[in-house]
Amino acid sequence: MVAIADMMRKKTDGRDPNLFEHFSSVTQSLGVYTAHDYADILEFLIGRWKLAALERGLSGEGRDAQEYVCGLPPRIRKLQERAEERAKKLGPRPAKFSWIFDREVVIV
């Protein structure tokens, strides 16, 4: 459980701490992979792996990780609503992606 939570927290390439935010902004604006899709996938995996039902053998850290992971889908949906409002106010802005040779992409 702790490993899953750690993986979900570390969405970076080691260079850009906002990599996932930038990536999701681009894919969201293109409509190819939305926050809604991401939350749906997480809900599916949480259910398939029965993560919310795990109780035996979890340490305090494990229970905290379980709470974090199982709470991600609704949190992602709420953050997406805020991001959409913020994007309307900010308009298009540039972001560099290290994994495409620091090419600058406009995020809408």
pLDDT digits (tens, 9 = 90+) for 1-30: 898 898 888 877 778 887 777 777 778 777
Torsion angle defined by CA atoms of residues 12, 1, 63 and 52, in that order, rounded to the nearest 10 degrees: 110
Count of structural domains within the chain: 1
Residue-wise pLDDT for 56-100, tens only, equals 889 999 999 999 999 999 998 998 888 778 778 877 777 777 777
Q: Which of 107, 4, 102 is nearest to 52 (CA)?
A: 4
Domain encompassing residue 32: 1-107
- Does the pTM surpass 0.75? The reply is no
